Amino acid sequence: MFEPALLVLHSPAKPAAGAADPVEPVFTQHDTAAPVANALDLGITRGDGIFETITVINGMPQALDAHLKRFARSARMLELPEPDAAAWKHTLLAAIDSRELVPEAFVKLLYSRGVEGSGQPTGWVWLAESGDFTKARTEGIRVVLLDRGYASTVEQTSPWLLQGAKTLSYAVNRAALREAERRGADDVIFVSSDGYLLEGPTSTVVLKLDDRFVTPRTTLGILPGTTQESIFEIARVNGFETAYEVLTPADLRRADAAWLVSSVRNAAPVNAVDGAPRAIDAELTEAINAGLASRTV
Amino acid sequence: MFEPALLVLHSPAKPAAGAADPVEPVFTQHDTAAPVANALDLGITRGDGIFETITVINGMPQALDAHLKRFARSARMLELPEPDAAAWKHTLLAAIDSRELVPEAFVKLLYSRGVEGSGQPTGWVWLAESGDFTKARTEGIRVVLLDRGYASTVEQTSPWLLQGAKTLSYAVNRAALREAERRGADDVIFVSSDGYLLEGPTSTVVLKLDDRFVTPRTTLGILPGTTQESIFEIARVNGFETAYEVLTPADLRRADAAWLVSSVRNAAPVNAVDGAPRAIDAELTEAINAGLASRTV
């Protein structure tokens, strides 16, 4: 058991070419109970920023480069200054080093446009021990399908809707989870207004369909899944084919197995859709989660 | 000229019936440069909260009850604890009292679900002098129409999308304004995916159409406009009819006059739509803004 750690980056954006050497030290460690954010930070007033959550197994951040790549992609979509990957990496590793080794922790990167008018983005790194997700991983989760309201084409037609970016504007995702709870479920799979499976509020959908592992195409306006990518690697090593496809609720219902996959909780098998029970593959799920826990990158 | 004021509410939610008397004092005043927010406040990490911005003319907050009513409505839509209207009112009036009188200031109310797991919502009040909006009010603004991606029915069909709530998840509104700038415009009017006029990212659309004042119906998934409501009152006093209707881009183009109206900036006449110039009614706009500036409630 350890106390959470909170580090504030001094210079979270990549310095301009030819700029002076970055400020040293790179971060300041703070008391987690103490306030660190200005009330006018655009991360608060407008949800104008991005984040990543990375699992840390025995001190090893998992799929770190994939997370940092997605972090940079979200920044581009929001036209935030490019994050300084080296500074973020240095800071998150320092957070991990500052605490004892535990089997499962997570580190959260928060990057906002900063205080309005300052032109200085804000960066925070938060490290804490993970909760116990044994029940979700073994018994599974009940999901409901909820309309996300957007057509599957919006990422191409309307980039200002920021679909596919991991933003600090997640009030809708939280509201969807409350709606799921009201319907007696644990989680949500969003469906596009034209009827395609998208993603969970904080997870990626993976199906085992006709003996292949499939996930919705990211061109539908969804996040590229870092945990899903790791699962696809594990699947391929074990002789399965993998594919990115356009999927429907009917595919979810006829799939041999279905999971919501994400950092921290890893693969949670779906045991019910809109109140209708469905089978889970306990053995395969265990193998997937064992594979995720033993990642070396 | 005055320095902005920042007040933190001690108990922003309404106490439960039968609860002990509220903590006194109601707020603490803070240095605006000092951090007041915890990095794990859900207002930051999830944009999970709401806000209101209220114009203050010579120390008088404008349309205060309408703003507090909308604040309570947004809270209900996000299932936040009901804000303690008396505490918010007391705090914002104290912020105004703490500063000299100026012709135009604004006060911002920020209310979040608080630090994750704490069950304690957070409330901040921010007061600052307004910028100079003379140019927007007299020469007008260029707008572009942007698809909001949602059908006009989502508020009824999909309440978890929070359309019509004034949330801290405004990254899309900010991205839309950057898109407008890229297209050589100053502001945006969102259009539903089924082709109806909605609202601006931080304003309400008002048209003068066939000698009546009309605005889009709030059932289309948009905010009820406090400034628009005041303008309708002014219009009725001056013998005009007013109406809430389903409007299209064609109505915007054929209107005698069009405005984006909001607290702080008040009525800004639209002088171009998607690059096509359109007439403004300078005299009527001046009368409307004079009417707004002399509101007594």
Per-residue pLDDT of B122-163, as tens digits, reads: 999 999 999 999 999 999 999 999 999 999 999 999 999 999
Q: Is the pLDDT of residue B20 over 90?
A: no
Looking at residues A20-39, what average pLDDT do you find? 85
Q: What's the confidence (pLDDT) of residue B18? A: 73
Inspect the interface and report whether the beta carbons of A168 and B47 lie closer than 8 Å: yes
For tokens 């193998």, the residue is A287
Q: What band does B17 get if pLDDT is binned at 50, 70 and 90?
A: confident
Query: Is the pLDDT reported for residue B296 higher than 90?
Result: no
Q: Are strands A60-61 and A122-129 parallel, antiparallel or unpaired?
A: unpaired
Looking at the DSSP bridge assignments, the partners of residue A204 are: A261
pLDDT of A297 over the 90 cut: no
Q: Is the Cβ–Cβ distance between A86 and A204 less than 8 Å?
A: no
Q: How many residues does chain A have?
A: 297
User: Averaged over B95-114, what is the pLDDT?
Assistant: 97
What letter would DSSP give residue A220?
Answer: G
d(CA B278, CA B281): 10
Q: Which residues pair with A180 in a beta bridge?
A: none
Q: How many H helices and E strands in chain A?
A: 9, 14
Cβ distance of B33 and A32 shorter than 8 Å: no
Question: How big is the A-B interface in CB pairs under 8 Å?
Answer: 178
CA distance B140 to chain A (A): 23
Chain B residues in contact with A35 (beta carbon < 8 A): 34-38
- Tell me the two tokens of residue B224: 């009820």
Contact list, A43 vs chain B (CB under 8 Å) = 44
- Please report the pLDDT score of residue B7 as a whole number: 97
Identify which of A37, A158, A174 has the shortest CB distance to residue B39: A37
Question: Which run of H or E residues covers position A87?
Answer: helix A85-97
Cβ contact (<8 Å) for B41 and A41? no
Tokens of A238: 């074990």
Measured between beta carbons, the chain A residues lying within 8 angstroms of B150 are 149-150
| Interface mutation vs chain B, best among A3, A106, A172, most B CBs within 10 Å | A172
At residue B129's C-alpha, the angle toward residues B123 and B133, to 5°, is: 120
Q: Is the pLDDT of residue B19 over 90?
A: no
Degrees, nearest 5: CA angle A73-A137-A252: 70
ipTM here: 0.95
Contacts 24+ apart (CB under 8 A), A254-259: A254/A209, A255/A207, A255/A208, A255/A209, A256/A208, A256/A209, A256/A210, A256/A211, A256/A281, A257/A207, A257/A208, A257/A281, A257/A284, A257/A285, A258/A205, A258/A206, A258/A207, A258/A208, A259/A205, A259/A206, A259/A207, A259/A231, A259/A285, A259/A288
CB-side exposure of A44: number of CA atoms within 13 Å? 31
Predicted local distance difference test score (pLDDT) of residue A22: 59
Q: Which residue segments constitute the domains of chain A, with CATH numbers given?
A: 5-131 (3.30.470.10), 135-293 (3.20.10.10)
